[in-house]
């Protein structure tokens, strides 16, 4: 079976982007992901539970995230929670998406400069 090409996932669906971004630097459980997205976007993006858990399953099946075996201290955790982490492929896809978005922003900035003349 051939390895998945990160470019094949671009452009990323908005929810996929926000979920992957939430997992940069730390593992998160589903509710934590929802809250982090809501806070990071000042309420502009809300991922509802039904959408979140279906999306998490698709991200897992595509190899972009995986369930983590690591658990926080039991006193600070609920045993029912599942924690998720980025895979190497997921990190690369997110990096490429960020590069793509930056290129689009640069294009828009150039267009604005041309418009000013």
The number of CA neighbours under 13 Å toward the Cβ of 26 is 9
Closest CA to 52 of 18, 91, 26: 18
Architecture in CATH for domain 10-116: Orthogonal Bundle (1.10)
Give the pLDDT of the chain (117 residues) as one tens digit per residue: 678 999 999 999 999 999 999 999 999 999 999 999 999 999 999 999 999 999 999 999 999 999 988 766 555 666 678 999 999 999 999 999 999 999 999 999 999 888 876
Question: Where exactly are the structural domains of the chain?
Answer: 10-116
Confidence (pLDDT) at 80: 74
Predicted structure pTM score = 0.88
Confidence (pLDDT) at 96: 98
């Amino acid at each position: 079976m051939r390895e998945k090409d990160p470019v094949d996932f671009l452009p990323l669906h908005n929810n996929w982007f926000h979920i992957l971004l939430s997992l940069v630097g730390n593992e998160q459980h589903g509710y934590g992901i929802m809250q982090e997205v809501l806070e990071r976007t000042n309420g502009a993006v809300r991922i509802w539970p039904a959408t979140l858990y279906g999306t998490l399953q698709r991200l897992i099946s595509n190899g972009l995230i995986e369930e983590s075996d690591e658990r926080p201290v039991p006193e600070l955790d609920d045993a029912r929670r599942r924690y998720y982490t980025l895979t190497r492929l997921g990190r690369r896809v997110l990096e490429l998406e960020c590069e793509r978005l930056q290129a689009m922003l640069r294009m828009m900035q150039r267009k604005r400069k041309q418009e000013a003349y």
